[in-house]
Structure 1
Amino acid sequence: MLKNLTKLSTLKVTCDLRALSSLTQPTHQNIFDRNAKRLQKERAALSEDVGLYDYLKEEVGFRLADRVFDIKREFKAAADIGCSRGYLSKHILAESVEHLTLTDTSATMLEQAQGTPGLKIHKLVRDEEDLDFEENSLDLVISSLSLHWVNDLPGCFAQIKRSLKPDGVFIASMFGGDTLYELRSSLQLAELERKGGISPHISPFTQIRDIGSLLNRAGFTMLTIDTDELVIGYPSMFELMWDLKGMAENNAAFNRPAHLSRETMLAASAIYQELYAKPNESGVPATFQIIYFVGWKPGPNQPQPLARGTGEVSLKDLGKIIEKGGKL
């Protein structure tokens, strides 16, 4: 009897410890339906006029490629995560990257992606949430306007850091939190007026203040983060929403509403025009906030910060230095 009670007590303690362990494990909430996003990208890629909707991602891909060229190094092995139709790879030169692996969840978009002459390309159908590259196998990881659909950004960043060699670099762009704020507020005001409540018609975006902490948490160093805003004009809200669908940037959140009534759409379009259209100009603007960031995996040859307390000049003397022409 005593022996059985001892076993039960041990079992209870073990179960309690496992329960406590599960509570302390880092978790993330799945906001986006990854399969729905894959299907949206497949439908967009199969459209005959898919090229008409490349204008935004082409521009951002070109700007991000400039950041790769700014690093005066030849990368032997690199990966483009969430490459879509090759908006970034078509600007990467063989002089900068010897071998580039392209990954995407959409097989059709991946098939349409191309590189520049002389660039060795390998294509993999792979989810950004399950990259599974070999550890210390890449010199460079790049990604353009894809990671904002990832549920577990800390986990994704950790996988990218793991795949990079020491002193490897991660360069990417994402939509920021102010993206499509005009459309978001117009739809919310229209639903409040018509239905007395709001639904999440625009997927949430990462705030710029969070990117640095997420990269630091993953172990990246020497971070560089900056933002840019692209404001594009459309005849009305309806053309904007049509183009977002053509870009495969329509809503993919699990809690997205199944239907948006015609009455609400017309009201939102009128609100959009009233609040955001510029005087004496036809059409409406749409703002896309782009966050660009660069992070390095720690390596032995990286410059290191000085130890605390080794500074020779105090910041309180900065005014004196300026007055004396840079001399204290």
Structure 2
Amino acid sequence: MDPLLVFDRAAVRRHRDRAARTVGQVADVLRDAAERLLDRLDDTTRQFSDALDVGGRGIVAPLLRQRGIGVVSSDLSAAMAARSGAPDGGICVVADEEFLPFAPASFDLVVCSLSLHWINDLPGALIQLRRALRPGGLLLASLPALGTLAELRGALTEAEDAVMGRVSPRVSPFPELRDCAHLLQRTGFALPVADVEEIRMLYANPLALLTELRAAGESNAIRERARTVPDRTLFPAALARLPVQDGRVAVTLRMAVMTGWAPEA
């Protein structure tokens, strides 16, 4: 198995196809994350006219249109891409983030809200996004950073070891924050900046956490994931190990926010 192929892209597409019917259940969380990312637009006087929304799940495109920006939305899943085109007839394209079909200098803004973390060749995808930007164009991207769902990762590891006597990867690997700005610099962006937004999520019913991850299309797509049906006691045992805050289960989303500019000609 190629060690560089961490994720099963066919599984990512299937999960997003399925989630196109359920993603509305987590719209509030996705909108909060998208608004935090788009707040960076208020820090520049640059005006944007043509944006590419990558994997926005029907949340990002309307927020950009509210700012008077024209939007083309792309997604690996046809069903999920269609969410960004409806109901106002916006332009949507089915495209693999690792093989983008856009011509050079097509956009002056690219927005990727929590949509880059299932990509095997992230540097290659970022290079393609930079090329799709006009000189002086802006990339706004967010992705889960190391520490995201650490509570769930630890609980699943402990429970699987106790119940099944072995451990398999069940939560996606995430980058460290310090690596994100270096990644932008490495892929040719000017003025790279990465900072973190921490979102604490509380659940009265811990099962709702797993339900929301599935509804958002965030089911496990690691290539080396276990393919057998887990012991029926595994997930109850893991959820019982999650930390509790004010009587509710608490988990953390550490969102790395990355900004970089396409170099001027």
> Structure 1 length as normaliser, TM-score?
0.75
Deviations 1:169-208 (A, max 9, x none): 1111111111100000001111222233211111111221
- TM-score, scaled to structure 2: 0.92
What does 1:99-248 correspond to in 2, within 5 Å? Answer: 99-113=70-84, 121-248=90-217
For the 8 Å contact 2:164–2:231, the answer to whether it is kept is no
Supply the distance in 1 between the matched residues of 2:43 and 2:24 (Cα, whole angstroms): 28
User: Which structure's CA Rg is the greater one?
Assistant: 1
What number of residue pairs does the alignment pair up?
263
- How far residue 76 of structure 1 moved from its aligned partner, in angstroms, is 2.8
Question: Contact (CA 8 Å) 1:128, 1:150: kept in 2 or not?
Answer: yes
Q: Does 1:90 align with 2:62?
A: yes
- Tell me the CA shift for residue 116 of structure 1: 10
Q: Distance in 2 between matches of 1:194 and 1:74?
A: 56
Could you tell me which residue of structure 2 aligns to residue 45 of structure 1? 20
Of Structure 1 and Structure 2, the greater helix share is in: 1
- Aligned CA-pair RMSD: 2.1
Counterpart of 2:52 in structure 1 is: 79
Amino acid paired to 1:36: A
Residue of structure 1 equivalent to 2:258: 293
Question: Is residue 90–residue 115 contact of structure 1 (8 Å, CA) maintained in 2?
Answer: no
Q: Provide structure 2 residue ranges, at least 5 long, that are not aligned to the other structure.
A: none
Please, which of 265, 270, 273 is the counterpart of residue 240 of structure 2? 270
Give identity over the alignment, percent.
Answer: 35
Whether the aligned pair in 1 keeps the contact of 2:178 and 2:194 (CA below 8 Å) is no
Contact between 1:89 and 1:116, CA under 8 Å: does it hold in 2? no
Q: Which amino acid aligns with 2:177?
A: I
Unaligned segments of structure 1, at least 5 residues? 1-26, 301-328
Match of 1:8 in 2: none
Give the Cα separation in 2 of the matches to 1:114 and 1:165: 24
Cα distance in 2 between the residues matched to 1:230 and 1:203: 18
Which amino acid in structure 1 is aligned with residue 250 of structure 2? P
Distance across 1 between alignment mates of 2:263 and 2:36: 25
Residues 245, 75 of structure 1: alpha-carbon distance in 2 compared, 3 angstrom cutoff: same
How far does residue 115 in structure 1 lie from its aligned partner after superposition? 8.0
Q: Is the 8 A contact 1:93 1:116 kept in 2?
A: no
